[in-house]
Structure 1
């Protein structure tokens, strides 16, 4: 293991603690180019400039690495939702978050796919769970109010689940080409259609 850490420092000039971030960045690059089904831990290590065994130092295996990447994606996703949640009435907040939701999916399709690919990640991971819960909480507070507390199985979150389901479905349709496959078609559809779609929610 020490040999792996030394190879990292020699190959890329990393300082202590940079290995984890470097491997996550390389994994993001690999799934962005190849897609999740062709993800390779060996290729990730090669792009990070480390030995094939080095990622195990922080992640254990491919599942551990993909879980860490999914947690990082959820943190960025939550940040995007929070940044869109400006002052305004409830309708404006839901619309702004909906646009940010779809925008994130279109800008980062591979990461967005990974966030929900439960067969590939460890849903019991604390970092992943916290990041995912925080993202949903941002949505929930816009829909149900700042004092809302989401609890698993609580029927009170149904309005927020309705919003989440509708926007997620729209994002998935856009990614799958339902609104056109020409450059910019999905973005134009989101701008034109998503606000009208959200108006059909009685929440």
Structure 2
């Protein structure tokens, strides 16, 4: 172990170093290419360190998922609001799909409830906070109350709004635009030239 790694360990930075290492591996190789051993090697610590600090693979991947939702929330909640419900909902959905397109490995991770502890309180809070603006936009469009973190109830309008954006995001991350767009970068062309029209047809003004 290097001196720098030991110093970071004593200053409480080892957890973040492991999260960042795991995140980089998933970005580069996908979640299926991730192992605790790779994360430990990348962070410059012993193979047992990730299990010690995160209680195994699920613990570390849950921490990465929390950080991913924080990033997603930072992007979605910073998007401009026009005050026009349909337009705001389309803006949020477009931002969601773009995040997935630019972060396919991490996006796939947050969809894998078999790999993360989706009942972890910090994960639940991060996932809810990430979609705050999305939830408000959907509620305004459908004339419903916005989601409440303290009321975990099924909301059909929110399920509908998320299903559309989530499906489109998966369509892009799986490379489906290449089936009908013969261009060097079909995903980007789909997002920039076709997706706005798809969203307009879904949620018209």
Report the TM-score when normalising by structure 1: 0.86
Q: Which runs of 5+ in 2 are unaligned?
A: none
Residue 86 (structure 1) aligned to one of 68, 81, 86: 81
Structure 2 match to 1:152:
152
Structure 2 match to 1:187:
188
Q: What whole-Å deviation, never above 9, does each CA across 1:100-150 have from its counterpart, x for those lacking one?
A: 111110111100000010111111111111111122332110121396234
Q: Distance in 2 between matches of 1:29 and 1:60?
A: 20
Structure 2 match to 1:47:
42
Structure 1 match to 2:103:
108
Structure 1 match to 2:198:
197
Q: What whole-Å deviation, never above 9, does each CA across 1:44-64 have from its counterpart, x for those lacking one?
A: 100001111122342111110
Tell me whether 1:137 sits opposite 2:104 in the alignment. no
Residue 162 (structure 1) aligned to one of 160, 163, 168: 160
1:8 touches 1:19 (CA, 8 Å); kept in 2?
no
Q: Distance in 1 between matches of 2:194 and 2:118?
A: 33
Measure how far apart 1:87 and its partner are.
Answer: 3.5
Q: Distance in 1 between matches of 2:104 and 2:97?
A: 10
Moved more, 20-29 or 160-169: 160-169
RMSD in angstroms over aligned alpha carbons? 2.2
Q: Distance in 2 between matches of 1:28 and 1:81?
A: 20
Residue 69 (structure 1) aligned to one of 64, 70, 83: 64
Give the number of equivalent residue pairs. 195
Q: Distance in 2 between matches of 1:202 and 1:76?
A: 26
